[in-house]
Chain A
Amino acid sequence: MDILLALWNSIPGDIQTLLVVILKIVAIVVPIMLTVAYLTLAERKVIGYIQVRIGPNRVGPRGLLQPIADGIKLAFKEVIVPSKANRFLFLSAPLLALAPALAAWAVIPFDDGMVLADINAGLLYILALTSLSVYGIIIAGWASNSKYALLGALRSAAQVVAYEIAMGFALVVVLMAAGSLNLGDIVRAQEGSLIHWFWLPLLPMFVVYFLSGVAETNRAPFDVAEGESEIVAGFHVEYSGMAFALFFLAEYANMILIAALTAIMFLGGWLSPFQGTFLESTFAWVPGLAWLLGKMAVFLFLFLWFRATFPRYRYDQIMRLGWKVFIPLTIVWILVTGVAILGQLGPWFD
Chain B
Amino acid sequence: MSIEPVLFYIFSAILVTASALVVVVRNPVFAALFLILAFFTSSAIWLLLEAEFLAIVLVLVYVGAVMVLFLFVVMMLDINLAPLREGFIRYLPVGVVVAVIVLLEMAVVVGPENFGLEQMPAPARHGADYSNTEELGSILYTVYAYPFEIAAVILLVAIVAAISLTMRRRPRVKYQNPAEQVLIRRNDRVRMVKMEAEKKENKEQ
Contact = CB atoms under 8 A, between A and B. Distances in A.
Nearest to B63: A132
Contact of B60 (A124, A135, A150): A124
Q: Which of B63, B64, B178 has the most CB of A within 10 A?
A: B64
A157 B64 contact: no
A128 B75 contact: no
Q: Which of A119, A121, A154 has the most CB of B within 10 A?
A: A121
Given A120-B131, A317-B178, A125 B56 contact: yes
A154 B68 CA distance: 10
Interface residues of B, number: 24
B75 A138 contact: yes
Given A153-B75, A317-B178, A320-B178, A124 B56 contact: yes
A249 interface: no
Contact of A124 (B29, B53, B69, B75): B53
A131 interface: yes
Interface string A128-140: 1001101100110
Interface stretch (A44-52, A158-166, A252-260, A276-284): A158-166
A150 B56 contact: no
Interface string A184-195: 000000000000
B52 A121 contact: yes
Interface string B151-181: 0000000000000000000000000101000
B146 interface: no
B59 interface: yes
Q: Which of A119, A132, A150, A317 has the most CB of B within 10 A?
A: A132
B133 interface: yes
Nearest to B53: A121
B71 interface: yes
Given A119-B52, A120-B52, A121-B52, A128 B72 contact: no
B18 to A, nearest CB: 15
Contacts, number: 69
Given A157-B71, A160-B68, A161-B68, A316 B176 contact: yes
Contacts of B133: 120-121, 124, 181
A144 to B, nearest CB: 12
Interface string A107-130: 000000000000111001101100
B52 A158 contact: no
B109 interface: no
Contacts of B60: 124, 127-128, 131
A161 B56 contact: no
Contacts of A139: 33
B76 interface: yes
B178 A142 contact: no
Contacts of B29: 142
B65 interface: yes
A317 B57 CA distance: 30
Interface string B6-30: 0000000000000000000000010
B71 A138 contact: yes
A139 B37 CA distance: 14
Interface string A12-51: 0000000000000000000000000000000000000000
A124 B57 contact: yes
A120 B59 CA distance: 17
Contacts of B176: 316
Contacts of A135: 36, 68
Given A121-B56, A124-B53, 12 more contacts: A125-B56, A128-B59, A131-B63, A131-B64, A132-B63, A139-B33, A142-B71, A154-B72, A157-B69, A157-B72, A160-B68, A164-B65
24 contacts: A89-B33, A121-B53, A121-B131, A124-B53, A124-B57, A125-B56, A127-B56, A127-B60, A128-B56, A128-B57, A131-B59, A132-B59, A132-B63, A132-B64, A134-B68, A138-B72, A139-B33, A142-B71, A142-B75, A154-B72, A157-B71, A160-B68, A161-B69, A164-B65
Interface of B: 29, 33, 36, 52-53, 56-57, 59-60, 63-65, 68-69, 71-72, 75-76, 131-134, 176, 178
Interface of A: 89, 119-121, 124-125, 127-128, 131-132, 134-135, 138-139, 141-142, 150, 153-154, 157-158, 160-161, 164, 181, 316-317, 320
